[in-house]
Amino acid sequence: MGRILIIGAGGVATVAAHKVCQNPDTFTEVMIASRTLPKCEALAQVLNKKYGTTVKTAQVDADSVEQLVKLLSSYKPQLVMNLALPYQDLTIMEACLQTGCNYLDTANYEPKDEAHFEYSWQWAYREKFERAGLCAILGCGFDPGVTSIFTAYAAKHHFDELQYLDIVDCNAGNHHKAFATNFNPEINIREITQKGLYWENGRYIETEPMAIHKPLTYPGIGPRESYLLHHEEIESLVINYPTIKRARFWMTFGQQYLTYLDVIQNIGMSRIDEIVYEAPLACPENGKTMAKVKIVPLQFLKAVLPNPQDLGENYDGETSIGCRIRGLRDGQEHTYYIYNNCSHRAAYEETGMQGVSYTTGVPAMIGAKMFLEGLWNKPGVHNVEEFDPDPFMAQLNTQGLPWHEIHDGDLEL
């Protein structure tokens, strides 16, 4: 039915590629392209052996529109799944426009030199995509992604008016490392060291990082300290559901993780500006010489931290991510909690990756499936809650991320 190009060969792309290969009726031709070709080739080899597919590979620097245009013009995918990093969103969208390809991603754009994310840069492409008759699907991971679709599902089936939304993200897994991040360390640390932000009564309220926290009880897990963070799906949800009076995002962190994070910040390793470092470099004449090189401390830290792709083997426990919603139906106040729990071990056994990559890669595949099957396809640039949630929700149950509902329970919030 469709030809797709996956850009990136990291944790999320690996899971998405497995799920794509498990759905051969929809995804008839697949290419994986990334910066490091051997990673794409190694992944394609695993997939082709496991599923009997003929996944193709290519090398591309997705920071270069020129290289992307060349690749897209020759492979001609119907949809490009951007599973590289948020830095590449705009170059890939630009290349899609130039070559007539549709687009999907899991994280909104952020500039490399500023730890700041918002949708304005990508929403600015709306008219161009509309005029070209192309569709861009933004934020199709778990959060953003499934959390936004859970909200759309609640609005469609359970409420006349959404009023209070709390997105709750718990990782109760243990990878048995002293410190590691569950997805790209650079992106992850930039995200969680930002100031907190939430929506209340028509405006955003900013807090110091991690300043607001409380224990929340997660199904099958129990109470975990949960911290209010700024998260990107809030930005589109309060626009698409204007009756929302308050929208917040909470994520759990263990004390040890926070202590390490504090140290990382205090010693300057989370800095994203360039510093000059005197490094021993190989010199053809005398073997070694000292040279001044520029490095970004956070990128250096990423290079020495465990690779999130390698955490799966000893990861136990599970994630629990969902939406706690209060609102009106038939004039009465109701509460609703919808969530998915995902086992790290089960994710690893199926795809070789841990649960955080799994909960992002599976929805990315389902979003692509929705597009290729014509269920989610309208010209323009859209956040996932703008599409019909029902066929996506049905797929979550069959593709490895089943969901559960609690009606009129205590939301704790």
Contact residues for ligand NDP (CB under 6 A)? 8-13, 34-36, 39, 60-63, 83-86, 88, 106-107, 141-145, 183-184, 187, 308-309, 356-357, 360
What minimum distance in Å lies between the beta carbon of 42 and ligand NDP?
11
> Is the CB of 47 or the CB of 84 nearer to ligand NDP?
84
Of 185, 188, 190, 192, residue with least CA distance to 305: 185
What minimum distance in Å lies between the beta carbon of 333 and ligand NDP?
30
> Is the CB of 97 or the CB of 356 nearer to ligand NDP?
356
What minimum distance in Å lies between the beta carbon of 52 and ligand NDP?
24
What minimum distance in Å lies between the beta carbon of 55 and ligand NDP?
15
| 3-state DSSP assignment of residue 47 | helix
What minimum distance in Å lies between the beta carbon of 138 and ligand NDP?
10
Beta bridge partners of 287: 283
Tokens encoding 277: 């470092």
CA distance 306 to 68: 30
Other Cβ atoms closer than 10 A to 195: 12
The torsion region of residue 400 among left (phi > 0), alpha (psi -120 to 50) and beta comes to left
What minimum distance in Å lies between the beta carbon of 179 and ligand NDP?
16
Which residue's CB comes closest to ligand NDP?
Answer: 10
Of 357, 321, 287, 2, residue with least CA distance to 146: 321
Q: Is 408 exposed, middle or buried (0-12, 13-18, 19+ CB in 10 A)?
A: exposed
Strand ranges (E), 84-154: 102-105, 135-138
> Is the CB of 159 or the CB of 249 nearer to ligand NDP?
249
Beta bridge partners of 289: 281
> Is the CB of 134 or the CB of 180 nearer to ligand NDP?
180
